Amino acid sequence: MTVLGAIRQALLGAALALLASAALADGPGRAAIASPHADATAAARQVLAQGGNAFDAAIAISAALAVVEPYGSGLGGGGFFLLRQQGEPTRYAFLDARERAPGAASPDMYLENGKVRAGLSVNGPLAAAIPGLPQALADLAATHGKLPLKDSLAPAIRLANQGFTVDRIYRDRASMRLDALRADAESTRLFLRDQQVPALGTRIRQPELAATLQALADHGRDGFYGGAVARRLVAGVRQAGGLWTLDDLADYRTAWRQPLRYALADQRELISSPPPSAGGVALAQSLAMLQRLPWQSAEPVQRSHYVVEVLRRAYRDRGLLGDPDYVANPIDRLLARSYLTSLADSIDVHQATPSSALPPAPAWREGDHTTHFTVIDAAGNAVSATLSVNLPFGAAFTVPGSGVVLNNEMDDFAADPSGSNSYGLAGSQANAVAAGKRPLSSMTPSFLESPSQLASFGTPGGSRIPSMVLLSMLGFLEGRPVSDWPATPRYHHQYLPDVIEHEPDTFDDAQKAALRARGYTLKDLQRSYGNQQVVYWNKRAGTLEAASDPRGEGQATVLEAVRE
């Protein structure tokens, strides 16, 4: 080759590299949505069609889910939003809309004669923390949206007025909380029929909720945390024995936090939830330990052994975490390479490590019925969000005249840090009740990103969220089809109790016997759990995919869209 030819080839190579780099910097050119309900997916489609971006679509989905999934999330609850803003460089943000304890809350508010009074932190308005979702929707519109808040809320307002039809998931969740719903007249009127779970296809209309959403649309945060809505909420809560005040609502603020970021092999990075979520730390620890173990080449029982042992160690550290505005979280120590190497090296290749053989840590419980969605727009902006009211239908208390079902997130605090709570679990001082404090959570909206790929993950499921997300991420790391990620059979270990919980068909008889021979105790939950929603963008191939968990009735779709 001549010198001139070599120069030409070098210039051509540089030009092609520049073009490839520019292509990767652009968005996918299409949008994708994965949500747990077809009506929520449709709401996002409407907003995107109006010129909205992923953040506007996230508002529309959140508000729609508040209408059609009153058992999973709502204006009376909160959640976490993980944001990706396309650009050079790509920017990430984490919007913490976790509920906060009211100002009159105290560490002994659920104790009587030194013992936890069962039910007070579960049912009724005393169980409710100050909601964060309405503030989050207003914040997203103001800081990241392209459309006015009222445009993004419009689909949900129509849904609340026109109604939605009861499906099998609604019936299942209402059945779980039937007694609690019956105990509240307003919840009974709205969500039951003749004191019973409504039949499939029953239409549920919520005009009071539509009016509350309209107040939020018209007046922003002040439409919920002030004015007539706030007065109605406080009056309803206090009349029924709760602690809220107008100042509690007026003082509520979301918190913008730095996402947890952890570098992995092959130029991949985990972008996930920081405290008050414990999930991001658990995911980072688990993935880092697995990098030191040959999990990909292991046969199924050996692989499960590796996964269970890293989860055991990651979950052990959960009790050290709490609301970062109230406690110092030892994140640097928990994610130190030397510490995680020592944890991985402590795993016996063939035998279970009894949790009692590890240094002790406080146990905990958490409600397991939340909701999750993910959306990416044509430009590459993305949101992964997990929302909650804690148990199904939260506190099973609907404030009269508002349509707002209150959360029971106060139950996520350690009710008795010095002893055991009503579930017999030891408490954690880092997660003790305090005025204005946010309870610890496992909600873990997450991205895995590299120069050539972006994958978005998340699910409801309480304490099982990090293990579900981990199993889904392993599907991605193996290169399995996107539809497999949320469908993968599930198993879970959380240090205490020292047992592998699993779905009915996760292990066959031979695998169960092999795991027991290694020293494990297995518990078949006799049901499926979780409701994953995932999106995958292959930047190099220019492909975009989305998938919803087959266990639910969600809808995942990729839209054809023209980039502006």
412 is in an annotated binding site: yes
Spell 273-306 as b/e; 16+ CB within 10 A means b: bbbbbbbbbbbbbbbbbbeebebeeeeebbbbbb
DSSP β-bridge partners for residue 272? 260
98 is in an annotated binding site: yes
Q: Which of these is catalytic: 188, 370, 398, 444? A: 370
342 is in an annotated binding site: no
Residues 6+ apart with CB under 8 A from 541: none
Q: H/E/C letters for each residue in 407-438?
A: CCHHHHCECCCCCECCCCCECCHHHECCCCCC
Kind of pairing, strands 522-524 and 500-502?
parallel
User: What Rg value do the Cα atoms of the chain yield, rounded?
Assistant: 24
Half-sphere exposure of 148 (CA within 13 A, CB side): 9
Q: H/E/C letters for each residue in 475-492?
A: HHHHCCCCCHHHHCCCEE
Kind of pairing, strands 453-457 and 111-112?
unpaired
Residues 26, 87: contact at Cβ < 8 Å? no
Angle between helices 149-162 and 38-49 (to 10 degrees): 140
Going from the C-alpha of 210 to that of each of 42, 149, 203, 205, the distances in angstroms are 18, 15, 15, 9
Residues 202, 165: contact at Cβ < 8 Å? yes
Q: Which of 338, 330, 299 is nearest to 514 (CA)?
A: 299
441 is in an annotated binding site: yes
Residues 321, 329: contact at Cβ < 8 Å? yes
68 is in an annotated binding site: no
388 is in an annotated binding site: yes
Can you list the alpha helix ranges (DSSP code H) found in 346-464?
none
Q: Is 488 a catalytic residue?
A: no
- The Cα 398–Cα 182 span in angstroms is 12
- The Cα 394–Cα 370 span in angstroms is 10
Residues 125, 237: contact at Cβ < 8 Å? yes
Cα angle value 147/150/151 (rounded, 5°): 50
Residue ranges for the known binding site are 98, 388-390, 412, 441-442, 462
Q: Which residues are catalytic?
A: 370
Residues annotated within a binding site for L-glutamate: 98, 388-390, 412, 441-442, 462
